[in-house]
Amino acid sequence: MEVGSANRFLLDQSQLQAFQAVERHSQLPEALKTSSENLLLLATLQLSKRSGMNIDLSHFERINVETAEDVGVIAKQLPDGSLELFPSVGDGYGLDEIEGRLGQLDLDERGGVIRIKNNVVILDEQKMSAVREVMNNRRIPAEGVADFIKSPSAFLDASLVNLDLGFSVLRF
């Protein structure tokens, strides 16, 4: 193709999504190319590949990047009768997977990521706000447990945390 030629190419949706993500990422200053941003780019490229784009991501095939659809809550009952709350970031991730990973939660202003086994779960700004809501209200005292079970929205902002998913109380 000649430089300056008028050839144009049409991109399908998966290609457009991938090219926009690469362009957005390449325009970020180096200081903002955090692991969250890098993983968000990888998630978009993986999604484009699943949608039919011919792209080689073999260097990243052992990492499954997904985007959290909703943030719910898991409650663990402690020996004193109180509850400790944990964010739930998707199907298949129980307390065992979440509890040990909260210290590795990678946050920035636009969202964050949590690594669980070979999976990386992307949390957009709204989902990160939901995670913060749960983390800021981690402990329900024993005398408040019955009220929490009856009406969790009195303790957590239901506009952030999806309480319609229900929640499980694990007793230890």
pLDDT in tens, 145-159: 999 989 999 999 999
Task: Name the residue with higher pLDDT: 134 or 100.
Answer: 134
CB of 125 closer than 8 Å to CB of 153: no
Domains of the chain: which residue ranges? 13-61, 67-171
What Rg, from alpha-carbon coordinates, does the chain have?
Answer: 20
pLDDT band (50, 70, 90) for residue 60:
confident
Q: Evaluate the CA torsion angle 118, 22, 108, 140 in order and state its sign.
A: negative
Beta-sheet pairing, 72-77 with 119-124? unpaired
Distance CA 21, CA 123 (A): 16
How many Cβ atoms from other residues are within 10 Å of residue 137's Cβ? Answer: 16
Distance CA 7, CA 168 (A): 58
The encoded tokens of residue 153 equal: 């929205």
pLDDT in tens, 10-52: 888 889 989 998 999 999 998 888 877 888 888 888 888 888 8
